Structure 1
Amino acid sequence: MLVHICCSVDSHFFLQRLREDFPEERLVGFFYDPNIHPYGEYRLRLLDVERSCRKLGIELIEGPYDFERWLEAVRGYEKVPEKGVRCEICFDRRFETSAKKAKELGEKRMTTTLLMSPRKSQEQLKRTAERFRREYGVEFVSVDYRSGGGTQRQQEEAKKARLYRQNYCGCMFGLRMQREEQGRLACELFSPVGGETLPGSIEERLEMYEKRLDLEERGISYEIVREKFLNYRLKFGWVRQKKRTVPSYILPYSTMKRRYTKGKVEREVAGVYLFNREEIRFLTLERYNRLAGRAYGSIGALISDPPSMEETFGVRRSIGLGPWDLSPVLVVEEIPEGKLEIFIESEHFPDVREKLVLL
């Protein structure tokens, strides 16, 4: 039986139940989810599904990540709520590809772990599957493992196996609507120009779960703990003088109340230049290099290859800014004289992230 897999939390318990109820079937997992975005999240979910299937002794096949084709298929339905037409189109694509794969492998039956998801309509899934049964001749096995305490057992198994627990379905449109309802920034869709790993980002989680696999392979004990922290995302920013942009690098956690201000640098204190608005600090690139132990030749080089967040926090500490200080810090090649315009659009918000603790 081919089992379309959407994520490890839904598949781990589901595969265990399938093996109990269909002992005569050889189960083959098929991870085909081009709706998952961004790609780092796709890699993270696949990584955890691979780990889950290894633990269960289930063969796993990865389907193509044809995200662009998926986008084209759902065009025009971006604002439709979850469980609506967009989801049916999404199921169509995944079921059709899964049915083709089952037929290619000579499998006469298929099912999907989407049946475990409380975010999905089982009736909607059955309707979609029935269309492809008629077209491809592959029987769809519809099972309900959610009722009768199944969802609770699923969560217990996920916790026991220390699976990655994603906090959104996977589709970027569903994510945006979910975050809007929560009054939160969809920070999963932000990627910095320089490619640095931001706190609480998908990239940070992916690095952590890759490290987790390495620890398990080496037999090193660990725990995954959650912590609350102040997250931050820079959306947009610039420094201008006489309508010309001044090359600048805005350090993380730089926050302005009104986003836009005018003023000038008033004085220098211990190598830090103080602006007369919004508690803004300026550093020359030379000074920044000394504080960070770097040798950037230009602001462009700093933007395209920024230091780690730990190094950035070190620079903020070295100029007297504490761990709760949101004062803007801007790096420029030379301190401009005269009137300046500064624009910084950013958000900081309470968030939760996971950390590995070695035992």
Structure 2
Amino acid sequence: MLVHICCSVDSHYFLQKIQEEYPDETLVGFFYDPNIHPYSEYKLRLLDVEYSCKQLGIELIEGPYALEEWLKLVKGLENEPEKGDRCTVCFDNRLETSVKKAIELGHDKFTTTLLISPKKSQDKLEIIGKNLSSLYNCEFIFKDYRSGNGVEMQGKQVKEHNLYRQNYCGCMFGLNAQREQQDKLTDELIYPIGQQIQPESIEERLELYQKRNELKECDIIKQRFLNYRLLNAKVIINKEVVPSYFLFYSTLKGKKSIGRVERVIKNVGYFNRDELKIISLDTFNQLANTNYTTVLELVYNPLSFDDELKLRAKITQNNHFDLSTIIILKEIPDAKVSVFSDFKIYDDVKEVLL
């Protein structure tokens, strides 16, 4: 039997139940989810499914990541709600590709772990599965493992095995609508130009779950913290934009400040307003033990997040509550400076490996 797999949260318990109910069937997992975006999220979910299938002793096959083809299929349905017509087209695509793969591999049965997801329409999945079954002469196995205490048991399995519990279906259109309703930043779709791995980013979670795979025993817990994303920032001196780097957690009242450096203490320039600080690239190199030659080099190849926080602590005398703007320029200017900064700072929750 070929089992289309959407994610480990939905698949782990579902696969266990299928194994129990069909002990004579050889199960093959098929991860085919071109709707998942961004690609780092796709890699994270695939990594987690590989981990789950390995524990269950089930072979896993990865389908193509055909995002562009999927986008063409759902064109015009971008604003549809979850469980609407866009989801129907998505189900059609994933299940038809799955039944074709089942036949290619010589299977006479197929099913999907989407059936156990509380946010998916079982009725639609059953209709699509039965239509494909008739069309391709391959039996669709419909199982409602979410009824009774199925969802509760599914949740217990996720916690017991430290599986990745994603907080959106994977589709970028569903994500945008969900974050808009929650009045939250869609930070899953924000990636810094310097490729720094930032807290509670998909890339950070990918690193965490890779470490989980390497450990024999571990636990994953959640912690609340203050998150931050710099969306846009610039510094203007003498009517020209100059290369600048804003340290993580740089906030600014009103998102704009115009003034001058009124004094320099221990190579840190203190602005005459808004608690803003400026240091030269040479001072940055001394404090961080680096050898950047230009500010743009720093922009495109920054320190790691942890090292950047250590540098901020040095500049602020270990004031861990400091949220003032700290800017690195080629040199501390002796002129009027205009600073513009658009950022988001917000309560968030991150996973931690113990």
The TM-score bracket by the shorter chain reads: over 0.9
Instruction: Give distance in 1, aligned partners of 2:196 and 2:143.
Output: 43
Shift of 1:54: 1.0
Residue of structure 1 in register with 2:314 after alignment? 318
Task: Name the SS of the counterpart of 1:355 in structure 2.
Answer: strand
Residue of structure 1 in register with 2:161 after alignment? 161
Residue of structure 2 in register with 1:356 after alignment? 353
Residue of structure 2 in register with 1:345 after alignment? 342
Instruction: Give distance in 1, aligned partners of 2:29 and 2:2.
Output: 6
Indicate if the aligned counterparts of 2:249 and 2:325 stay in contact, CA closer than 8 A: yes
Deviates more, 1:238-247 or 1:54-63: 238-247
From 266, 272, 278, the equivalent of 1:276 is 272
Give, as a single letter, the amino acid of the residue that structure 2 aligns with 1:261: S
Instruction: Give distance in 1, aligned partners of 2:333 and 2:132.
Output: 66
Residue of structure 2 in register with 1:124 after alignment? 124
Deviations 1:125-146 (A, max 9, x none): 1222233223322221111001
Query: Runs of 5+ in structure 1 lacking a partner?
Result: none
Query: Runs of 5+ in structure 2 lacking a partner?
Result: none
Residue of structure 2 in register with 1:291 after alignment? 287
Residue of structure 1 in register with 2:26 after alignment? 26
Shift of 1:120: 0.5
Q: Does residue 1:253 correspond to 2:210, yes or no?
A: no
Task: Name the SS of the counterpart of 1:258 in structure 2.
Answer: helix
Residue of structure 2 in register with 1:233 after alignment? 229
Instruction: Give distance in 1, aligned partners of 2:321 and 2:189.
Output: 25
Residue of structure 1 in register with 2:139 after alignment? 139
Residue of structure 1 in register with 2:327 after alignment? 330
Shift of 1:241: 2.4
Task: Name the SS of the counterpart of 1:163 in structure 2.
Answer: coil
Coordinate RMSD, CA, aligned: 1.3
Task: Name the SS of the counterpart of 2:253 in structure 1.
Answer: coil
Give, as a single letter, the amino acid of the residue that structure 2 aligns with 1:296: Y
Deviations 1:161-214 (A, max 9, x none): 221111111111111111122221111111111111101111111111111111
Deviations 1:89-144 (A, max 9, x none): 11111112111101111112111000010110111212222332233222211110
List, as ranges, runs of 4+ consecutive aligned residues in structure 1 with deviation greater than 6 Å: none
Indicate if the aligned counterparts of 2:95 and 2:129 stay in contact, CA closer than 8 A: yes
Task: Name the SS of the counterpart of 1:277 in structure 2.
Answer: coil
Task: Name the SS of the counterpart of 2:254 in structure 1.
Answer: coil
Q: How many residues align?
A: 353
Compared CA separation, residues 267 and 123, structure 1 to 2 (3 A):
same
- Percent identity, aligned pairs only, is 52
TM-score, with length taken from structure 2: 0.96
Residue of structure 2 in register with 1:36 after alignment? 36
Compared CA separation, residues 242 and 131, structure 1 to 2 (3 A):
farther
Give, as a single letter, the amino acid of the residue that structure 2 aligns with 1:281: K
Task: Name the SS of the counterpart of 1:197 in structure 2.
Answer: coil
Indicate if the aligned counterparts of 2:316 and 2:322 stay in contact, CA closer than 8 A: no
Instruction: Give distance in 2, aligned partners of 1:260 and 1:244.
Output: 16
Give, as a single letter, the amino acid of the residue that structure 1 aligns with 2:187: C
